[in-house]
A = this chain, B = another copy of it.
Amino acid sequence: MLDLTPETSSPRADRPASPAAQNNAAAPDISHFHLDNGLEVVVIPDLRAPIVTHMIWYRNGSADDPAGKSGIAHFLEHLMFKGTVKYPNSAFSDLVSELGGQENAFTSNDFTAYFQRIAKEHLGRMMEMEADRMVNLVLSDEVVAPERDVVLEERRMRTDTDPSAELGEAVQAALFVRHPYGTPVIGWGHEIEGLNRDDALAYYRRFYTPENAILIVAGDVTAQEVRQLAEATYGQIAARGEAPQRIRAKEPPSRARRLVTLNDEKVEQPAHQRVYLVPSYATAAAGEGEALEVLAHILGGGPTSLLYKTLVVDKKLAVAAGAYYWGQALDDSRFFLYGMPAEDISLDELDEAMDDVIADLLRSGIDAQDLARAKTRLVADAIYSQDNQTEMARWYGMSLTTGMNVADVQAWPERIEALNAQDILNAATKWLDRRRSVTGFLLPAA
């Protein structure tokens, strides 16, 4: 599928949009229920146009790839477009296109998802076809082998010829010693080469089950309509009895800071990144994920942030600088700093200047105005995001596949509002610990 945009492992490409951009404050009347076979359903009404977004999310991503089979989650996502007996080859995609719809699919660390955006009258058809390929996928060697080459080419294009992406992979691999978040979503090339039909089928049978799936429908539709359609389609799939296990190694304690340096002749602008291993929303103590979110915003969320103001505007050491928190993850996740040095400024100097900004923040505390502005902005973004049906659906899917529930999503703005300056400072003190970090330097050829 040329129009697929599976997420890859580079920090930027793979980064979920922040909750600020996607959360659902003052939520509409969201319905949430399960079918008898265990399939979870979320319905998000949006009556502004006769359009629906239909998504099916599976609670398995690259971090659930079996040992030595990295890339299988993403590879199967490709193979899911290869057809069933009833809808062979590209019949599903062709129909979406004929009906004026759009489709997409993506794989990340913790989930795989498929969606269509289409006129409301075709929702039932989409559900029927998506339910069909949950269990009736046809995979032949004739289809698997060429698609593996497609994935390998995708890897070559996106990573192996892009020093920035290569560095990103090396940084993540250094950050996660044991946990599979250190493995690229697309997989390591030499392991992709070994993936075959049996691997894909075994993985498909293990994870593509009603108990492991979440149906999300956003748009001009009622919960009752969705329930009826879901029961007639997904509901016909036999239950497996239980959800598949997600088996993931845990990280040992991290006591040594790491620096990963990549020199490449293709690099023109040096770049800096630093990644801290921090809790995700799912693994954090109450309020700590939200505190990291606000901290990232104060520290590096746009042109009014401390990093930007200090390094780019005031000291002119950098031409770009920022921070973000990747909170949507089932396991311990990542807090990123990044920057690009101004001319004649070394990455070491930029690195030290970033530390100075953080030290200064810890010393002088959180400015009350900065905090208020950050909270207002994050909550406002969450409210604005309701205008985007697909974003809303995506946000629920991402949250529900990474250990949150509907109520958690809905109460997110309240939890942001409840934070005080000390909460942010505590999070910064506790988690911005260089012993838990990997720094990446991207440089021109030595």
Contacts and interface: CB of A to CB of B under 8 A. Distances in A.
A173 B166 contact: no
Contacts of A170: 177, 254-256, 258
A438 to B, nearest CB: 9
A255 B159 CA distance: 12
A68 B245 CA distance: 14
A261 B348 CA distance: 15
B188 A178 contact: yes
Given A177-B182, A178-B188, A259 B259 contact: yes
A275 B115 CA distance: 47
A373 interface: no
A67 B65 CA distance: 12
Interface in A166-192: 166-167, 169-170, 173-174, 177-178, 182-183, 188-191
A190 B262 contact: no
Interface of A: 67-68, 166-167, 169-170, 173-174, 177-178, 182-183, 188-191, 247, 249-250, 252-262, 264, 440
A166 B256 contact: yes
Contact of A252 (B189, B250, B256): B189
Report how many copies the assembly holds: 2
A295 B218 CA distance: 66
Given A178-B188, A258-B260, A261-B259, A67 B249 contact: yes
A102 B264 CA distance: 56
Contacts of A188: 178, 252
A358 to B, nearest CB: 14
Given A177-B173, A188-B178, A256 B247 contact: no
Contacts of A183: 178
Given A182-B177, A188-B178, A262 B252 contact: no
A252 B68 contact: no
A270 B168 CA distance: 30
B258 A174 contact: yes
A261 B177 CA distance: 15
A332 to B, nearest CB: 13
